[in-house]
Homo-oligomer: A and B are copies of this chain.
């Protein structure tokens, strides 16, 4: 079977070129046999494929689209009014089975709405979730955190569904036989949190998953657990707090190294090691994740992705298709209806 990967060429902060460059990098380092359908402005895409010497690759085709979804579009309106946009044409192709997977770095809100209203939800899942992969200093494989903000009016039942989805993902895509599922909370003791989180705790305890209890935000980057379940509002705050702190720290560190001749020599001596360290905290290394709860593979890439991040998004698409995750998730999900 040849994987058919659809990719939205628009909506990325850094423009289309980073995506084509990312594809070029991916094809150089992998032996992917996949077909790539690129959704976007025909002329721009064609020129860039030529620039990166990909125009004669018969595995790559352009699906010409004429409009673009932006972050300013109201999601449900965008779905109705921008039927010719790269994102909506792509989502429709996914629904119709023309591609096995569709990846977009464009407007999160519209992508989720397209997942629900065009592609469709998995039976038994009420609300989709956005997930992110974050590194941990205490294990090789990343930690999956969900929801990061797809659903900001969560009910306890939704978090129960996220736990099941996260479990299936880490099991099938990352080959972890019995993923450890933790609940983000304000303390580690079982009875911690507010009424909402206490209810979620009890519900997760009754699921046929390896629920290991509460985890605090301070331990997310050093955890040995595989999945962290959280409501979309708090999850958004968690992820952005981590990202913001890493960024401030990196900037401050850079400023210290640039201070004077002594610190500049210091920088030269440790440059390589710091680069490795930074890579460990880099979301770009970790690829794209599905919009969980949609019944086909709809992947969200970070809006500020560069070519390295897009290279990994292409890799994620191949890996997730091959993991047979969608089939497994539908099976697993029969248990939580």
Q: Which residues from B are CB-within-8-Å of A251?
A: 137
Q: Quick one: which of A245-286 are within 8 Å of B by CB? A: 245-249, 251-253, 256-257, 259, 262-263, 265-270, 273-274, 276-277, 280-281
* B-chain residues with CB within 8 Å of residue A246 when the two chains form the complex: 245, 249
Kindly report which residue of chain B lies nearest to residue A192, judged by CB atoms: B152
Residues of B within 8 A of A193 (CB): 152, 233
Chain B CB count within 10 A is highest, among A238, A249, A281, for: A249
B-binding segment of A121-129, A174-182, A211-219? A211-219
CB proximity to B under 8 Å, residues A224-254: 232-234, 236-249, 251-253
Residues of B within 8 A of A234 (CB): 233-234, 237
Which residue of chain B lies nearest to A263 when distances are taken between CB atoms in the complex? B270
State which of B149, B256, B273 has its C-beta within 8 Å of the C-beta of A263. B273
Q: How many copies does the complex hold?
A: 2
Q: Give the distance in Å from the alpha carbon of A197 to the alpha carbon of B236 in the complex.
A: 14
A268–B244 Cα gap in the complex (Å)?
28
Complex: A238 Cα to B186 Cα, angstroms: 10
Q: Is the pair A194, B256 in contact by a Cβ cutoff of 8 Å? A: no
Shortest Cβ-Cβ A-B pairs, 4 listed: A218-B244, A241-B241, A266-B269, A217-B240
**Max chain B Cβ within 10 angstroms of own Cβ: one of A153, A233, A245, A268:** A245
A67 to B266, CA, bound (A): 52
Contact: A270 with B262, CB < 8 Å?
A: yes
What are 17 A-B residue pairs whose CB atoms fall within 8 Å in the complex?
A152-B186, A153-B194, A153-B195, A216-B240, A217-B240, A220-B241, A237-B238, A238-B238, A241-B242, A242-B245, A245-B245, A246-B249, A252-B277, A253-B253, A256-B274, A263-B273, A267-B270
Chain A: interface size category: 35 or more
Query: How far, in whole Å, are A197 and B233 apart by their CA atoms in the complex?
Result: 10
A324 to chain B, nearest CB (A): 33
Interface residue? A308 (CB, 8 A):
no
A262 to chain B, nearest CB (A): 5
Bound-state CA distance A283–B219 (Å) is 18
A88 close to B (CB within 8 Å):
no
Could you tell me if B220 and A244 are in contact, using CB atoms closer than 8 angstroms?
yes
Q: Within 8 Å of chain B (Cβ to Cβ): is A131? A: no
B residues less than 8 Å from A218 (CB atoms):
240-241, 243-244, 247
User: Is A221 in the interface zone, CB < 8 Å from B?
Assistant: yes
Does A186 contact B149, Cβ atoms closer than 8 Å? yes
Contacts of A266 in B (CB 8 A): 265-270
B residues in contact with A243, CB < 8 Å: 218
Determine if A244 and B273 form an interchain contact, defined as CB atoms under 8 angstroms apart: no
Given contacts A242-B245, A245-B242, A245-B245, contact A217 B194 (CB under 8 A): no
Tell me, rounded to whole Å, the shortest Cβ–Cβ distance linking A312 to chain B.
21
Report Cα–Cα, A247/B246, bound state, in Å: 11
Check B263–A245 contact: CB distance below 8 A.
Answer: no
